[in-house]
Structure 1
Amino acid sequence: MNTQVFKTDGAKITVFLDGPDWDGAATATVGAFTCKTPESGAEVLDQAITFIRTQGIRQILGPMDGDTWHSYRGVIQTDGSPAFLLEPRDSLGELEVLKAAGFAQISGYFSARVPLVQTAQTVPPETANFSIETWDGSDPEKLFDQVFELSCEAFSRNAFYKPISRDAFMAMYMPMVGVLKRELIFFARRPDGTLAGFLFGTPNYAEGPKPTSAILKTYASLERGAGQHLAYAFHKAALAEGYDTAIHALIHDDNLSGLRSAAEHADVFRRYGLFGLKLDG
């Protein structure tokens, strides 16, 4: 990844020159942005923008560590509740610096929570197109290999998608094997055994070694209705495992999963934004 780090007294930012396309044009991203004061943040951001200009790039996304496979988005609204596992950090100060430089929000996301006793009230309609199964806990490399293939196909339709190599994907996700809880990982499989969808849930270890909430972190599907079945299975399993609360994490405002979260009467507790800047000239 073609990157450049800029530092000033009290601020730091990383430029990723090979970001995802935005409106069909080459785009850089800025991420890993921290600043102690608005002035130090503005100074380091100006250096980053000047550098991007010299590279002939006229579009910038942020906060984003290169692509949507890595950390991106910043908190724009919160009720002050503690961060959950793998959540983007609170970056309101840095976002104000971005906005002052002309960045505008171009995409929105939210996280919501719901008591598990009020979830999974409606059984999804039966289907012969796929069946839901849990991960048996064996061969994690094979698990992530299948997840990689389906993710690339399912997420390729998303805005700001950028392909990733299998090796890069494995390097990100294999270190997570030690914290995976197989009872919260589900697959939707077609009758021929091929993968139609997956859902990764995880205990919210940010609460400590005995968390009371479980996170519906990531799911993707290629078959209509698979997401609904996967979410139903997750909520039932999380309740059976003794968790009190489900966290519906990092959902795009326009995503169908947002409607499902609302149908469970989940309460939004955090909102996030992705911002963009188009440079003149």
Structure 2
Amino acid sequence: MTTETLKTDDGQLTIWFDGPVWDGHSKVATVGKCKFASAGAGTRLLQDAATLAHSEGATALIGPMEGDTWHAYRLISDRGERAAFLMEPSSADHDEAAFKAAGFEVVSSYFSASAPLSELPGPKPDDTEVFTVEAWDGTDPDKLFTQVYELSCAAFADNPFYKHIDLADFLAMYRPVVPLLKQDLILFARDRTGALVGFLFGIPNYAEGPAPKSVILKTYASSQKGAGHWLSYQFYVNAKALGFDTVIHALMHDDNLSAVRSGLNGADVFRRYALMGRNL
């Protein structure tokens, strides 16, 4: 992956010249790892990044994004008052203004919401013989994440801003979190042949300290109708049994907002995020 870092006395950023497909552009670059002392400093660096990306043949620039959506991306557009949670994107309050002044506009919006586990999981889904749901057995984390990788690539391939990454790069991202994992928060749905048709990845919110009371529903995907409902139901049951009192639905696309509001009793959207883009 070809990158270049721009630094000044009042900021820095990194450009990835081989970003994901976006809006029909032939070549997209991304900009991430942004650290700006002020909105003005950020604007100047972003304008320099746009000039450099264009000189390398890019026709669009998006960010903040560290090369692809597997890595850190998005800025905080509405911070709210809740403390940051584990693995949440971070940005300065002036970052959005810097991007906008440099000619960027919002191209995708996201949110995080929380709900009390006392009001979940709701009615139990209908029994099914099509698949079974099981928790991770706690062994062979590379095998675990290889299965997650394979289903993720298939499930997310048609998502906006998708870009394929190699298994080795995927494992390198997730191995550091293995000591933080709890088996009952990592769930699989398998069909009658044993093939994986869905997964859910949850993790305690250790940003609260060593004994957190909130749990993060980080990622889930399924290729079988009904698997997502069963996975989330079992996740809530297991999280309550482990003593958590709040669930955080992390970094969901705005298109899912109505589903969250109707499906979660007492859900509270506490943070919003944006991905910015511009033509070159």
**What residue in structure 2 maps to residue 6 of structure 1?**
6
Which residue matches 2:194? 193
Residue 168 (structure 1) aligns with = 169
Contact in 2 for aligned 1:120/1:232 (Cα 8 Å): yes
Paired residue type of 1:200 = F
Match of 2:101 in 1: 100
User: Which letter maps to 1:117?
Assistant: S
Q: Is residue 84 of structure 2 the alignment partner of residue 83 of structure 1?
A: yes
Would you say the 8 A contact 1:3–1:17 is kept in 2? yes
Cα pair distance change 1:137/1:258, threshold 3 Å: farther
Q: Where does the alignment leave 5 or more consecutive residues of structure 2 unmatched?
A: none
Alignment partner, residue 35 of structure 2:
34
Alpha-carbon offset, residue 10 of structure 1: 1.3
Cα distance in 2 for partners of 1:271, 1:262 equals: 19
SS at match of 1:92: coil
Partner residue, 2:232: 231
Deviations 1:5-58 (A, max 9, x none): 001111111100000011232200011111111222122112211111111112
> After superposition, where does 1:240-279 map in structure 2 within 5 Å?
240-255=241-256, 259-260=259-260, 262-265=262-265, 266-279=267-280
Match of 1:180 in 2: 181
Q: Distance in 2 between matches of 1:250 and 1:262?
A: 17
In 2, the alpha carbon distance for the partners of 1:196 and 1:140 equals 18
- Please list, as runs of the form range in 1=range in 2, the aligned pairs for 1:99-178 lying within 5 A after superposition: 99-178=100-179
1:62-119 Cα offsets, whole Å, 9 max, x none, are 1101000000011111222100000001333111100111111111111000110101
1:71 aligns with 2:68: no
**CA separation of 1:261 and 1:131: change in aligned 2, threshold 3 A:** farther
Q: TM-score, normalised by structure 1?
A: 0.96
Cα RMSD for the two superposed structures: 1.2
Number of residue-to-residue matches in the alignment: 278
1:88 is paired with a residue whose SS is coil
Q: CA deviation at 1:125?
A: 1.8
Once residues 123 and 41 of structure 2 are traced to their aligned partners in structure 1, the CA distance between those partners, rounded to angstroms, is 52
| Percentage of pairs with the same residue | 50
Query: 1:21: which partner in 2?
Result: 21
Question: Any conservation in 1 of the 2:187–2:199 contact (CA below 8 Å)?
Answer: yes
| CA-CA distance at 1:213 after TM superposition | 0.3
TM-score, normalised with respect to structure 2: 0.96
Task: Verify the 8 A CA contact 2:44 2:102 in the aligned structure 1.
Answer: no
- Do the aligned residues in 2 keep the contact of 1:248 with 1:261 (CA within 8 Å)? no
Task: State the Cα deviation string for residues 110-137 of structure 1 (Å, max 9, x = none).
Answer: 1000110101121112222211100010
**Unaligned segments of structure 1, at least 5 residues:** none
Query: Which AA in structure 2 matches 1:202?
Result: I
- Cα pair 1:6 1:12 within 8 Å, conserved: yes
State whether residues 115 and 245 of structure 1, in contact with CA within 8 Å, keep that contact through their aligned partners in structure 2.
Answer: yes
Output the CA distance in 2 between the equivalents of 1:220 and 1:187: 10
The alpha-carbon distance between structure 1 residues 157 and 8, as it changes in their structure 2 partners (threshold 3 A), is same
Return 31-40 or 191-200, whichever deviates more.
31-40
| 3-state DSSP of counterpart to 1:198 | strand
8 A contact 1:251–1:258 mirrored in 2: no
* 1:155-205 C-alpha deviation (Å, 9 max, x unpaired): 102111000001111111112111111111100010110000000110000
SS state at 2:202 partner: strand
